[in-house]
Structure 1
Amino acid sequence: MILDPKYIVISPKQPYFVMATSRYYKAVVMNYGISHFYCFQRDGTTENPIVAVPDGCFDILFFCDEKEPCAYVCGTVLHPKSTLNTKNKCFFGVRFLPGSSFKFKNVTMSDLVEQEIPFLEIIEDKDLFEQITSSKDFNYQIQIFMDKYLKFYNYSEATSKHKDLRKFIMRNIMETAGQIRVKELADVTGYSVRYINKMFSEQFGLSPKVFCKLMRFQYLLNNLNDCKKEIFHTNLTELAMELGYYDQSHMIKDFYEFTNTTPGKYIHSLQETEYKKRLIII
């Protein structure tokens, strides 16, 4: 049995970020609404393009460049999208957990979907911007960000009228790897389908149906990343059934929609680029 609620942790993956650089550093948090911090440099050692895939998250991404520093708040994409393909740039990023929701100035969560909005237009903290973009010390950048962020996070949690409902719904979605219908969410919470749809869209910028589809894809991605090529084809049908796809063809079609490739070709790319050697978890 692949699915077991005790072991399902959907850690959002952007595998093409890793494949497009010789070293991709990652510091896992999985708390305070943050999945992990990451940093990498586009130094010209690889020609692989950076492609963002749907993950139901938003990132804050800093370009640590002495001459032209900049930063963006980037919402989830809904289809694969080429991005960040500038050489000789150092990046520091924060990837938030799927379903993290915050109140930004003049910007809703739906405004972020498939968008990259300048950091200082949303978070007017020039001091934080300058301290992070002027450094290339990963641990220092993390510390600086967390010192400022925790105050914002605690305030956001304290003032959220939907905090408990949001967490309950998110836990149900994660425990089923996205295999839950809106009607089921309504039944377990005692709210109407209409209310769940409305609240979810306001809080996360996506409908629960779309979000669940993205979580199922991300869970599939997590499984493929840990899959050995030799047993890939043996497990593919079982994996499709466990994830609630109609059949293997349905799963491949969904995967292609979100990556522009097939699971088999994706596994080959992981092997060819030596994905696990490029990913350095600290």
Structure 2
Amino acid sequence: MNNDFYYQFTLPEKSAADFVENIGMFHNQSDQPKEVVIMPDGRIDLFFMQSESDSFDTILIGLETIPEQRSIPPHTLAFKISFTPLGIEYILKTEIGDLLNSSKRMPDNFWDFKKEDFKDFETFKEKASLKIKELLPIQIDERKRRLFELVYASNGEMTVNELSQKTDWNGRQINRYFNKQFGLSLSSFCKILRFKASLPHIAKGKLFPELNFTDQNHFIKEIKKFSGVVPKELLKNKGDRFILLSVLKEQ
């Protein structure tokens, strides 16, 4: 990324890994807006965003199934916690079925964050980590833990039937849970994870299926569905519009 747009992220403590993917921040230091494309990645983001007016808004963004063009205003500073679906249920203790491809503003002073908690990334990370640790559940539904373990380990390539058999959880009940809790079916969520798993390959210039896509045409169609462009254009990433791909290229 250029010097006008800065980002940083870190993985959570091991005890929180089932619930949080990462803790991060970005800062548009430019006098111009930053045009970006947000692609579905299976995460649910809780943003703490500071505008030029020096006030903070806390926004929860639900799961996304389509790419979305967004403009980050000049001098915007944002800190975020990226949750897994389990984190939404067990840390935030809420349902996001009505937030598919949308967002909502959280109450002021959410989690008792104060202005001084946003002075730098390390301060925010420490405060967020302590709050997450405080909210970690003593126990969770073992079927759900096993389900997500399998889904993530397979990059979404296991069928609902296979997952049902390995978790001893009826497929219809799983989909009812997913639709109510997260706003989409398990199959749809798995396709998003497969797309996300394809991005490291694309970042390395591998513009052909590495996962269980039916064929090249199916691969291209799925990448375009979730990114808005074909793999070749995604790789070009003109203007660093695709932030997630830019992160992968720098790893």
Structure 2 residue ranges without an equivalent (≥5): none
Note if 1:101 corresponds to 2:62: no
Among 66, 74, 94, the alignment partner of 1:87 is 74
Shift of 1:211: 0.6
TM-score when scaled to structure 1? 0.75
Shift of 1:91: 1.1
Note if 1:52 corresponds to 2:38: yes
Q: Is the 8 A contact 1:200 1:208 kept in 2?
A: yes
Note if 1:118 corresponds to 2:96: no
Superposed counterparts of 1:262-273, under 5 Å: 262-269=230-237
Shift of 1:101: 3.0
TM-score when scaled to structure 2? 0.83
Task: Report the counterpart of residue 201 of structure 2 in structure 1.
Answer: 223
1:227-246: CA deviation from partner (whole Å, max 9, x where unpaired): 1x4xx35xx2xxx2x41111
Shift of 1:56: 1.4
1:23 match: secondary structure = strand
Note if 1:198 corresponds to 2:197: no
Residues 221 and 277 (structure 1 numbering): CA distance in 2 closer, same or farther, change over 3 Å? closer
Letter of the aligned partner of 2:219 in structure 1? M
Shift of 1:223: 2.2
Letter of the aligned partner of 1:79 in structure 2? I
Aligned-pair identity in percent equals 21
Residues 278 and 173 (structure 1 numbering): CA distance in 2 closer, same or farther, change over 3 Å? closer
1:37 match: secondary structure = strand
Shift of 1:97: 3.2
How far apart, in 2, do the equivalents of 1:243 and 1:19 lie? 32
Letter of the aligned partner of 2:152 in structure 1? M
Residues 244 and 278 (structure 1 numbering): CA distance in 2 closer, same or farther, change over 3 Å? closer
How far apart, in 2, do the equivalents of 1:185 and 1:278 lie? 32
Greater relative contact order (Cα 8 A, min sep 6): structure 1 or 2? 1
Point out the more displaced range, 211-220 or 59-68. Answer: 59-68
How far apart, in 2, do the equivalents of 1:252 and 1:140 lie? 42
Structure 1 residue ranges without an equivalent (≥5): 1-17
How far apart, in 2, do the equivalents of 1:80 and 1:189 lie? 32
Task: Report the counterpart of residue 67 of structure 1 in structure 2.
Answer: 54
Please, what is the CA RMSD of the aligned residues?
A: 3.0
Task: Report the counterpart of residue 257 of structure 1 in structure 2.
Answer: 225
Letter of the aligned partner of 2:113 in structure 1? L
Residues 19 and 185 (structure 1 numbering): CA distance in 2 closer, same or farther, change over 3 Å? farther
Residues 30 and 247 (structure 1 numbering): CA distance in 2 closer, same or farther, change over 3 Å? farther
How far apart, in 2, do the equivalents of 1:50 and 1:129 lie? 28
Task: Report the counterpart of residue 26 of structure 1 in structure 2.
Answer: 9
Q: Is the 8 A contact 2:23 2:80 kept in 1?
A: yes
Where do 4+ consecutive residues of structure 1 move more than 6 Å?
A: 270-274
Q: Is the 8 A contact 2:88 2:95 kept in 1?
A: no
Task: Report the counterpart of residue 119 of structure 2 in structure 1.
Answer: 136
